[in-house]
Structure 1
Amino acid sequence: MKRGRGRAALGRGYGGMGAAIVLALSPVAARAQETGGDAVAGDDLIVTASGRPETQAEVPLSVQGFDQRDLRGLAIRDVRDLAAFVPGVFVETQYPSTPAIVIRGISTDTADVTAEPRISVYQDGVYVSRPQSALFELYDLARVEVVKGPQPTLFGRGALTGAISVVQNKADPRAAAARVTAGVGDLEAYRAEGMVNLPLSSAVAVRIAGVARREDGYVRNLAGGPDLNGNRIGAVRGAVHADLPGGGAIDLIGNVQRDRFTGLSYKSGTFAPSDPATGAPLGTTSPFTPAYLNVAADFPRGGLGGSRDLAGATLLLDQPLGGDWGVSATAAWTRFRTSFVGDFDGSALLTAASGEITRGRQLSAEVRVRYAPTGGISAILGASVAEERGTQDILTQIDERDLLALQTGFLDRRNTALLPNAVYRNPALVAGQLAGIAGAFGVALPAGQAAALAANLQANHRERLLRASRARFYEGFASIRFEPAARLAIEGGMRVTLADKRSDLATVIEQRSVLAGFFGALTQPAVVRDALLGALSVPGAAAIPPSAAYPVPQFGLLYQPTAGSGDSASIDRAGVSGSASLRYAASPSLNLYATYARGRRPEVLSPQPPLAPGAPSRFSVLAAETVDSIEAGAKLRRGTVRLDGAMFAYRYRHFQTELLQGTTLVSVDAGRGNTWGGEVSARYDPLPALGLFASYGYTHARFGDGLYEGNRFRLSPDHQAAAGGTVTVPGHGGTLSIEPALVWRSRIYFDNSNGDLSQFAGAFLTPLPFQSSQAPYARVNLHLGYAPDRGRWRLDAFATNLLDRRYVRDIGTGSLSFGLPSYIAASPRAVRAELTIMTGGAR
């Protein structure tokens, strides 16, 4: 990013991380033209928030931007790191393929391939439509921009709550350059990044960049294998650039990324780690201490952990048409494949394990025509088309004997100590529990029949849920700006979306669940009950195919099987969204703005399993989620002081969320939701070698009427604050920068239920009272950097979570369905050092 004289002086006085924090806490850049960099006017960046150049103070939006130097100073590797320095934004993840991105209280963390995200993630103008591929590695970038609030006109259907735009560095024919970074740190971490930019002529260049990094896990697994929460990432990017006659340019970019991660530390908050053979205690239920996580040796999808593969190609074209006209176009192909295996019960038991494989691909194209005269009326007209396909294959394996022990209370959830696993599978004890349950229903179960039923309960009952989605979107949009006076600008825009969607569902039961059949039989009339119990007592009853001689349905425990290859349904819908804004320059140093936007999240065709074996799947159409938002703000630039503030209010209708039904999260209409609040950030540079910053954001996000009335939204703190500064010390032939930063968040709830057990009526086993939230916490980071006055290298040291603050970052949603909540510990203190060497024009 080019910087003018004012920003250059700021860089010398404030340092890398300080400058990054300044940018992060002051509204900066919105979605820029993806083919160029930002210029600077005085002390303010020139950005293109609405597709036209203007200073950051003039943009009538709440936007934060980071350039490549800022990303390095803050040690930002992905969007999770970025969010810590953006008020009103929170990002958390379990596996890399399941991020939860929250902007102003509203998240987009559904992994259901039939649902729509609320927050757009863009890579060089290409919409990343699935959360499974949204958390990609950030390296060799021009900038990252976070736009808050509905952005329906230029960002589209996925930007109901906001957008994150990542702009990668393009090949540059002006000069050859290279850069390499290598570093090591705690947890056996290493990181290597490199870039080579090679001009082939005065108009053509190629660029290759890559990164490889590893961070071992930080929770020991007593069951053996690698530590939990570890990750290895490798990514490579290739780019070709060519200047075109008439001032145009074309870029071709290809990306590949591979993640390999160890198991997630779903640490049980119910049962302490123990030796499964002896029951000897091995620890406590604290999520910060070692866990005992495992899956059965015969689980078809392997051991704990998983992988993710991302790939994509993008073609960008920008061409002036003469006069005040220009055109830009984007074409892209992306695909992903993710898989992971988790121990849902979070303990030494083998009660439940799950493995998921998700695939997706997207083809998209967009064209924009712009009319941008020096004054008067300017406009952008555009159209786009996209096709998205996704499949999801979820396999769950259950030990029916453990589940029976949980149902009867023999596996006591109020006692953290476990007996040897064999105790819960003892045939006589299992038979006694079956007889006891039958007795509670007024049925006297003979001892021989109880023993036969107990022998038929499966240690590895397996069920598969297969979902698929195909969607086509056709969109047209327009944005017009009118400047009736030198100090006043009025802008309005509209987008029309046509959506054609299809959802498919199939459930597969490998062998019938004898436990489910047993419970079902007890609710039937005596004649049906006795016949069914008798059939389920036949040796090998789980594996006998249904037939005229054995007319027992293929019962499922979690789902009921679909007939044949499954069921499908489709819908066609259209919708309109839009926005309007007004900016008034009250003085040369103060800009005021106000915006209104109507955002729209398309209808969801939500599939649900059959209610009975072989019955049709259930498909419900959820109404389009809409939000009406208003925002008003001010941006002050006066001397060494920058002050930015905004107030906002959103009203959601037909809020689409997920509800636990059995062990499956399904999309449902939760009614209304409301969000309002304010944000303020300030920066003060009293001396050339000293910079200070502070920010605060308040977000009141609550469900309205409907499913979770009055509850807080998941992962949405009411209060967020950040503070810090930079001191630069010249001497010894170079400059040392010392840059501390403090980030604080108030209480965060892990689940939309907010711990209300009555809202788990659809769960397989209602949990006991559990830790539904994390108390307020703070993290302190520190960056030390040294760069010689004359030299092409720099040395950086980073400490994250410097005070080693312990807190829970999320809860295992799947574990709640079995009444066994599990918790995921946040990463501890980590220190690392990096050396960067540069040649040519690299930075």
Structure 2
Amino acid sequence: MKKAAKRTFPVSLLSCLIAAAASPSVQAQAGDSQMLEEIIVTAQKREQSIVDVPLTISSLDRETLKDLGIDRFDSLSDMVPGLVVQQQSVNNNGYVIRGITSDDGSAPGAARVSVYLNGTDVSRSRASYFEVYDMERIEVVKGPQSTLFGTAASIGAMSFITAKPQREFASALTVGGGDYAMRKIEGMVTGGGETLQGRLAFVSRERDGYIENTSGEADLNGYERFAYRPSLRIAPNESLTIDLVYNYDKAEDPGTAFVNEAFLFTDDAALSVPDNDVLGMDDIGVDRTVKDFNATVSWELSDSLALTYIGAQREYDSLEAFDADGTGYEMLNFSEEATGDQSSHELRLNFSGERINGFVGASYFQEEAEQFVGFASEEGLFLSCAGALALAGIESCNGDATALLTGGLVSALPYESYYANGADNSSLNLFADVSYLITPELEATVGARLIEEERESSYRSALPPSAILAAQGINSDLFFGLALNTQGETIAGDTDNSALLPRFNLLYTLNDSANLYGTVSRGERAQVIDMASGVESIIPAEEITNYEFGLKGRLSDTALDYSLAVFYQDYENFQVNVVDQDSGQIRTENAGSATNTGIEADLRWSATENLMLLANAAYIDAGIDDDTNNGTYAGNQFRLQPEFTGALSYIYEMPINAALLFTSSGSWSYRSSVYFDIENRFEEDAVDLLNLRAGIAASDRNWTLNLAASNLLDEEYIMDAGNSGDAFGFPTYIQGAPRTLSLEFSKQFGAF
């Protein structure tokens, strides 16, 4: 479906929104307010009620996460309007906010979605995943948030705040098991004295793969993960608090099944990689380690001034090997090893008064990263599958091609090559944000972030000549010179960039239970230096202007919180990642201008004393503008961008007797059709999934027993299509998880 050159803002929706905001029926009800706890967030670097934040924001606290069984990144898609989390593997995550995807795994590439862990940017794609356990709160903020979270938040931010140590002793333990040999154990213990408290949390989870692999190697699309988090809180006096947190995440998953379309939803996948020297492992799988240390110092200088320092060091090493042709042939065998070292420092001064609140500060971020991609194949098989041996009378994908060409002297000629890209980036930021209460009803916020970036990118590759082609008098590698071969030498380029990214917000209090807000903000995705052609090619920075209008509050006579937002986003130099059809390498291109218009709604309703309902929905009309200046992708829909998303969830409990409760929760989620590539060649129809939990608990909730089902109706769906194999005529597909069942028992001790 082609898009108009420029989309218009939905004026009719705005009119309805303004009419709803002005309605006198929206009034505070003291009795109802006691039925819903106030949601406190820190998106604006200070504690605020979510209703008083002039941004589109969703927040999930510890109890909601626990009641709904949310313990994975992709589960968040069910709870946040306009958010889709795609997880091919722990090594490859895609975050989609308002139809825009952030999933670039190359070292020079920049993220679009800021993933924050305890106030620190951990957005680098191959290190942005971590186990979701023992969380205090998760906040998701939509729209460009560069002023608050830096350039990586060009379309939004996901902020994870881990649970802090406490003085009172408390501990918890969860054990579980299920089908596909699922095993889980999760726990925490905390306690301490007046000046020193500690906390230790951990999780170990395993599940065999649900893609039966007939090659003799492990079944695929399973997981084996272990993580632990020790933390200390030092409070020498009432005004000074020091939080020290260490995170360790380890994954040794059996790997991702990229299968040919013919093998989807069958038990006929035969995927493997050969013994080799370049891939880093001889089996399909993932070996990933992430280590993270965070120090936060909070010093209350006075009743109106507070100084905060956040420093972090993060290291990751993530290796994944995969069969990219999706067949039983060992033709396209790849691995990716992503390594990185990040350090960051932020110093911020918060100030507050009767009419003014805000902060000023500075931050510095530095990273070194490399993406090493290995390739292993067999020469005769590869050339025959590529059709290069047809004139010699050898049929496509003939496993005996090498033997036929050498008269039986050699049965196989292993071939190995690689390419690698690296990055050395640094960023110095100065930022300020001020909110001023103009009248008792009207508050204005002005903020800006000045960014000075230095980016250096490098490239190296080694593609040895083909012995079979050499015997035919052709001096070439298997790719016929279509991929750059630096013969192991490194080439590099660098660039500097500066930007001033402002935001302006207005918050108008209609009455005690409803606020109206408007936002104009600017965002930027950093420049990309592409060296894969052998010369320095700079993809210009992606620039975003965001206009937003929203209403949030509590409905009269009902314990129902709501938020409604309408937005319009204008993009220049929209960056897209495509697979090069000659070399199979992923490169970044400038697709030109793009626009994005949509509406989002979020509801939380305490329907009865025993029943909580949560619902969200989003409509998005987005894509590359249908303008001839935008070239090949003009009029195309974004990758992974559904037009409609929605979800309905519930949390229910009912006393059985004085000692026991019946508990249940569930969620139904829906997304409309999506394309898996910017070329709009691979499409999947709408998908809806149902998850349910039911169990019993002690009346004081100190123990629970739950039976859980994910994808209860066993819907068949795919998570991705095309992939690296598509460049060689072998598009592959990643199958979504089938119905899975599990039983969990949790026990708590001490004060919570």
Q: Return the TM-score normalized by structure 2.
A: 0.90
Aligned counterpart, 2:490: 566
Equivalent of residue 601 in structure 2, options 671, 680, 692: 680
Q: 1:515 to 1:715 in 2, by over 3 A?
A: farther
Task: Determine if contact 1:401/1:457 at 8 Å carries over to the other structure.
Answer: no
Distance 1:242 1:562 in 2: 52
* Cα deviation, residue 158, structure 1: 0.5
- Worse-matched range after superposition: 71-80 or 153-162: 71-80
The answer to whether the 8 Å contact 1:287/1:825 transfers is yes
The corresponding residue for 1:700 is 621
Separation in 2, partners of 1:221, 1:502: 41
1:476-527 residue CA offsets vs partner (Å, 9 max, x unmatched): 0000111111111100100011111111111112x31356779xxxxxxxxx
1:297 to 275, 291, 294: 275
Match of 2:578 in 1: 659
* Larger CA Rg, structure 1 vs 2: 1
Letter of the structure 2 residue corresponding to residue 717 of structure 1: P
Question: Does structure 2 conserve the Cα–Cα contact (< 8 Å) formed by 1:385 and 1:473?
Answer: yes
Cα deviation for residue 698 of structure 1 reads 0.5
2:234 maps to which of 229, 242, 245: 242
Is the 2:111–2:123 Cα contact (8 Å) retained in structure 1?
Answer: yes
Q: Is the 8 A contact 1:175 1:198 kept in 2?
A: yes
CA 1:75/1:594 → structure 2, altered by over 3 Å: closer, same or farther?
same
Counterpart in the other structure of 2:501: 577
Following the alignment from structure 2 to structure 1, what is the Cα–Cα distance between the partners of residues 34 and 447?
Answer: 27
Q: Which amino acid aligns with 2:567?
A: F
The yes-or-no answer on 1:650 pairing with 2:569 is yes
Q: Which amino acid aligns with 1:630?
A: Y
Shift of 1:423: 4.5
**1:251: which partner in 2?**
243
Task: Please give the residue correspondences for 1:362-761 in structure 2 after superposition, counting only pairs within 5 Å.
Answer: 362-373=342-353, 375-408=354-387, 421-427=398-404, 459-509=413-463, 511-514=464-467, 534=473, 536=474, 559-562=483-486, 565-609=489-533, 617-638=534-555, 639-661=558-580, 662-704=583-625, 705-732=630-657, 733-755=659-681
Partner residue in 2 for 1:52: 46
Q: Secondary structure at the match of 1:223?
A: coil
> How far has the Cα of 1:660 moved from its partner?
1.9
Match of 2:145, SS?
Answer: coil
Counting only pairs closer than 5 Å after superposition, residues 84-95 of structure 1 correspond to structure 2 as 84-95=78-89
Q: Which moved more, 1:361-370 or 1:808-817?
A: 808-817
Structure 1 range deviating more: 302-311 or 675-684: 675-684
Quick one: which amino acid aligns to residue 289 of structure 1? D
The letter for the 2-side match of 1:181 is T
Q: Describe the shift of the 1:356–1:40 C-alpha distance in structure 2 as closer, same or farther (beyond 3 A).
A: farther
Give CA deviations for 1:717-761 in whole Å, capped at 9, x if unaligned.
110111243443211322112223210110011111111xxxxxx
Deviation at 1:171, TM superposition (A): 1.6
Distance, in Å, in 2 between the alignment partners of 1:420 and 1:487 is 72
Residue 178 of structure 1 corresponds to: 171
Q: In structure 2, what is the equivalent of residue 97 of structure 1?
A: 91
| Amino acid aligned to 1:708 | Y
Q: Give the counterpart letter for 1:256 in structure 2.
A: Y
Q: Is the 8 A contact 1:80 1:92 kept in 2?
A: yes
Q: Distance in 2 between matches of 1:323 and 1:109?
A: 43
Q: Spell out, residue by residue over 1:690-737, the C-alpha distance to the aligned partner (whole angstroms, 9 max, x if none).
A: 333432210112012244111111111110111243443211322112
Letter in 1 for 2:510: A
Structure 2 Cα separation of the partners of residues 554 and 835 of structure 1: 55
* One-letter amino acid of the counterpart of residue 750, structure 1: F
Matched, 1:110 2:104: yes
Q: Give the drift of 1:391.
A: 1.2
Return the alpha-carbon distance in structure 2 between the equivalents of residues 455 and 477 of structure 1.
69
- Picking from 247, 253, 264, the partner of 1:286 is 264
Aligned length: 706
SS in 2 for 1:44: coil
Return the alpha-carbon distance in structure 1 between the equivalents of residues 668 and 119 of structure 2. Answer: 32
Q: Aligned-pair distance for 1:115? A: 0.9
Look up the match of 1:796: 706
Q: How does 1:132-147 map to 2 (within 5 A)?
A: 132-147=126-141
Give the C-alpha shift of residue 294 in structure 1.
1.6
Q: Which ranges in structure 2 are unaligned for 5 or more consecutive residues?
A: 1-32
Deviation for aligned residue 1:593: 0.6
Q: After superposition, where does 1:168-247 map in structure 2 within 5 Å?
A: 168-172=162-166, 174-199=167-192, 201-247=193-239
Contact 1:402/1:411 (8 A) holds in 2: no
CA deviation after TM superposition for structure 1 residue 194, in Å? 1.2
Q: Is the contact made by 1:678 and 1:697 (CA closer than 8 Å) also made in structure 2?
A: yes
Aligned to 1:311: 291
CA contact (8 A) 1:341 1:353 kept: yes
Is 1:131 the counterpart of 2:41? The answer is: no
How much does 1:642 deviate? Answer: 2.7
Identity across the alignment (%): 27
CA distance in 1: counterparts of 2:686 and 2:477, whole angstroms = 51
* SS at 1:154 equivalent: helix
TM-score of the superposed pair, with normalisation by structure 1: 0.80
Corresponding residue for 2:21?
A: none
Q: What one-letter code is carried by the residue in structure 1 that aligns with 2:647? A: A
The verdict on how the C-alpha distance between 1:582 and 1:293 changes in structure 2, with shifts beyond 3 A counting, is same
* CA–CA distance in structure 1, aligned partners of residues 615 and 238 of structure 2: 46
Cα separation, 2, equivalents of 1:695 and 1:837: 32
Shift of 1:287: 3.9
- Does 2:336 match 1:356? yes
Is the alpha carbon distance of 1:393 and 1:835 closer, same or farther for their aligned partners in structure 2, counting shifts above 3 Å?
same
Moved more, 676-685 or 154-163: 676-685
> What's the RMSD between the two structures over aligned residues?
2.5
Distance (whole Å) between structure 2 residues aligned to residue 558 and residue 223 of structure 1: 32
Equivalent in the alignment of 2:11? none
Distance 2:532 2:439 in 1: 56
Segment drifting more, 586-595 vs 107-116: 586-595
| Structure 1: stretches of 5+ with no match in the other structure | 1-38, 270-283, 413-417, 431-450, 519-532, 537-541, 543-551, 610-616, 756-771
Q: 1:726 to 1:583 in 2, by over 3 A?
A: same
Q: Which one-letter code corresponds to 1:745 in the other structure?
A: R
Alignment of 1:806-825 (within 5 A): 806-825=716-735
